[in-house]
Amino acid sequence: MIILVKIVLAHLLGDFMLQPDSWVKAKEKVKLRAWQLYIHCFIHFVLVMLLVFDLAFWKWALLLSILHFITDTLKIFLQTNKTKRIYFFADQIFHLAVIVLVWMLYQKESFSIIQDKKYFITLLTFSYALTQPVSVLIKSFISQWSPKKTDNESESLERAGNWIGILERLFVFAFILSGQWEAVGFLLAAKSVFRFGDLKESKDRILTEYVLIGTLLSFGIATIAGIIFVNLKFLL
């Protein structure tokens, strides 16, 4: 596990601390003709080697650098000014996914979970179901009680509620899979505290009941999904 932490640290240092804004702009402007792109990937290789501090790891460090180069290249060619923010997050998620995959390949005994295709596909299916599909399901169910928008609500971030619901369900699912039931209670309590101020100021019973139904449905579905998966995995 310490190897994984060191690789992630190398990525964070290389992508944020040791990559000036001028390098990012140069890569976006001249793309593959930017020398900064190649130096950037070489820095990642050096950082991994320095932090892991094992000469036998050079092949994996080189693989990480090459995959980093490919990912950055795809990003600078595919992104536009309008999609730059989306591709930034996608780029970082993909980098971290590659890091975990390479680490699992390095740790052969840790790669067994991927070899179990049935477990992996089932986990992927449950995780995806808890995102947009459940959001649509909950939205459709509670739309019959949808309250009128208030001035405070119009000032909120676009689709913030949808993303909050998706993240909370994934967190609950992950907590249940790891047996951290107290973390589920903490998450529910934290959301209640943050929501309490808005609901108190609105003095709207309909809005309070609407939020309560949505929250309980979101947590309830994620909890049931977690319980089903934990018991189902023994049958896979």
Say if residue 30 is in the same domain as residue 127. Answer: no
- What number is the average pLDDT over the span 84-108? 86
Of 112, 132, 164, the residue that ends a domain is 112
pLDDT of amino acid 114: 47
Say if residue 128 is in the same domain as residue 103. Answer: no
Closest CA to 61 of 52, 70, 72, 69: 52
Number of domains within the chain: 2
User: DSSP class of residue 107?
Assistant: S
Of 70, 88, 112, the residue that ends a domain is 112
Name the residue with higher pLDDT: 52 or 85: 52
pLDDT digits (tens, 9 = 90+) for 150-168: 544 444 444 667 888 888 8
- What number is the average pLDDT over the span 205-226? 82
Say if residue 127 is in the same domain as residue 85. Answer: no
Of 78, 112, 146, the residue that ends a domain is 112
- Please say whether the beta carbons of 221 and 136 come within 8 A: no
Please, what's the b/e burial string for 64-77 (b: 16 or more CB within 10 A of its CB; e: otherwise)?
bbebbbebbeebbe
pLDDT digits (tens, 9 = 90+) for 26-69: 999 999 999 999 999 999 999 999 999 989 899 999 999 999 99
Say if residue 7 is in the same domain as residue 19. Answer: yes
- Number of residues that this document lists for the chain: 236
Q: If you write DSSP's letter for every residue of 152-172 in order, what string do you get?
A: HHHTSPTTHHHHHHHHHHHHH
Say if residue 123 is in the same domain as residue 46. Answer: no
Say if residue 102 is in the same domain as residue 10. Answer: yes
Say if residue 85 is in the same domain as residue 15. Answer: yes
Say if residue 152 is in the same domain as residue 190. Answer: yes
How many angstroms separate the CA atoms of 104 and 114, rounded? 9
How many angstroms separate the CA atoms of 79 and 203, rounded? 44
Say if residue 147 is in the same domain as residue 194. Answer: yes
Domain that holds residue 122: 116-235
Say if residue 132 is in the same domain as residue 93. Answer: no
Choose from 55-64, 99-108, 188-197 the range with maximum mean pLDDT. 55-64
pTM for this predicted structure: 0.53
The tokens of 52 are what?
């892991």
